[in-house]
Structure 1
Amino acid sequence: MKILHVVRQFSPSVGGMEDSVLSLARIQRDLLGHDARVLTLDRVFGQTDRLPATDTVQGVPVRRIAWRGSSRYPLAPSVLRHLGDATIVHVHAIDFFFDFLAATRWLHRRTLVASTHGGFFHTRALGAIKAVWFQTLTRLSIRGYERIVACSDSDAQMFAPIAGRRLLTIENGINQQKFHAASAEAPTRTLISFGRFARHKQIDLLFPLLARLRASGDDWRLIVAGRPADQSQADLAAAARAAGVTDAVRFVIAPSDEELKALFGQSSYYACLSEHEGFGIAAVEALSAGLLPVLSDIVPFRRLADQTRMGIVRTATDLDAIARDILALHDRGETALHALRSRAIMESSRYDWNDVARRYMDLYEAIHPSSGRPATHVPLDTVREGSPS
Structure 2
Amino acid sequence: MKILSITPTYFPEIGGIESFVRELATRISRGGTQVDVAHVSANHAAFSVSEMDGLKVYRVPVTGNRLVGYARGLGRLAAGYDLLHVHDPHLMVLTTNIILQCRNVPAVLSTHGGFHHTRQHEAFKWLHERFLMRRLLRHYRKVLAGSDSDMVYFARYSDNIAKNETGINFGKFQSGRTTGTPDPTRWIYWGRWSRNKRIDAVIDTVALARDNGIAIDLLIAGPDFDKLGESLRARIDALQLGDSVRMHPYIEDAALLQELQQRTVFITGSEYEGFGIGIVEAMAAGKIVVCRDIEPINGFVDKSETGFFLDFDNGPKDLATVREITSLDPARCEAMSSAAQRKAKRYDWESVALRFAEHYAKALSGRDQGGALRAR
TM-score normalised to the size of structure 2? 0.90
Q: Identity percentage over the alignment?
A: 29
Name which of 109, 121, 125 aligns with 1:126. Answer: 121
CA distance in 2, matches of 1:339, 1:162: 43
Shift of residue 305, structure 1, vs aligned partner: 2.0
- Residue 293 of structure 2 corresponds to residue 294 of structure 1: no
- Return the alpha-carbon distance in structure 2 between the equivalents of residues 314 and 329 of structure 1: 11
TM-score, structure 1 length as denominator?
0.87
Does the CA-based 8 Å contact 2:146-2:166 persist in structure 1?
Answer: yes
Aligned to 1:137: 132
The answer to whether 1:71 aligns with 2:98 is: no
More divergent stretch after superposition (20-29 vs 78-87): 78-87
Contact 2:11 2:18 in 1 (8 A): yes
Partner of 2:291, secondary structure, is strand
Residues 47-82 of structure 1 show CA distances to partners (whole Å, capped at 9, x for unaligned) of: xx8598222222221000112333344542431121
TM-superposed deviation, 1:227: 0.6
Please tell me whether residue 39 in structure 1 is matched to residue 38 in structure 2: yes
Letter in 1 for 2:162: L
Q: Paired residue for 2:265?
A: 269
User: Amino acid of the residue matched to residue 283 of structure 1?
Assistant: I
The answer as to 2:163 corresponding to 1:169 is yes
AA at the equivalent of 2:163: T
Tell me which residue corresponds to 2:230.
234
Asked if 2 retains the 8 angstrom alpha-carbon contact of 1:301 and 1:313, the reply is no
- Residue 61 (structure 1) aligned with residue 56 (structure 2): yes
Post-superposition CA distance 1:287-308 (Å, at most 9, x none): 0001111011221111222599
The one of 308, 311, 315 equivalent to 1:312 is 308
Matches of 1:197 and 1:307, distance apart in 2? 26
In 2, Cα distance between the equivalents of 1:51 and 1:222?
A: 40
Change (3 A) 1:234 1:52: farther
Deviations 1:159-199 (A, max 9, x none): 001011x1000011101111115132322211111111111
Q: Distance in 1 between matches of 2:234 and 2:158?
A: 43
* 312-321 or 355-364, larger mean C-alpha shift: 312-321
In 2: Cα distance, 1:101 partner to 1:51 partner: 19
Letter of the 2:17 counterpart:
M
In structure 2, the residue matched to 1:379 is none
Q: Which one of 278, 284, 289 corresponds to residue 282 of structure 1?
A: 278
**2:257 matches 1:257:** no
Aligned letter for 1:176?
A: F
Measure the CA separation in 1 of the matches of 2:270 and 2:282: 15
Indicate conservation of the 8 Å contact 1:4/1:90, yes or no.
yes
Of the three residues 188, 202, 213, the one matched with 2:209 is 213
Larger mean Cα displacement after TM superposition, 293-302 or 94-103: 94-103
User: What value does the CA root-mean-square deviation take over the aligned residues?
Assistant: 2.3
Pair 1:257–1:216, CA change in 2 (3 A): same
Mapped pair 1:98 → 2:92: no
Kept in 2, the 8 Å contact 1:274–1:316? The answer is no
| Greater mean alpha carbon deviation, residues 191-200 or residues 311-320 | 311-320
SS in 2 for 1:91: strand
What is the CA distance between 1:313 and its match in structure 2?
2.1
Q: Indicate the larger mover: 287-296 or 116-125.
A: 116-125
- Cα deviation, 1:184-227, whole Å, max 9, x if unaligned, reads 23222111111111111111111110011223446411101011
Change (3 A) 1:177 1:51: farther
Amino acid at match of 1:25: A
Q: Does 1:28 align with 2:28?
A: yes
Structure 2 distance, partners of 1:358, 1:307, is: 31
SS of equivalent to 2:63: coil
Partner of 2:370: none
Task: State the one-letter code of the partner of 2:10.
Answer: F
Equivalent residues of 1:41, 1:64 under 8 A apart: yes
Partner of 1:13: 13
CA distance in structure 1 between the partners assigned to 2:239 and 2:216 by the alignment: 14
Q: Tell me the residue number matched to 2:369.
A: none
Distance 1:66 1:233 in 2: 28
Instruction: Give the distance between the partners of 2:258 and 2:70, measured in 1 at CA.
Output: 38
Deviation at 1:92, TM superposition (A): 0.3
Counterpart CA distance in 2 for 1:279 and 1:123 is 15
**Residue in 1 that maps onto 2:174:** 180
Question: What amino acid is aligned across from residue 303 of structure 1 in structure 2?
Answer: G
Check the 8 A contact 1:330/1:337 in 2, yes or no.
no
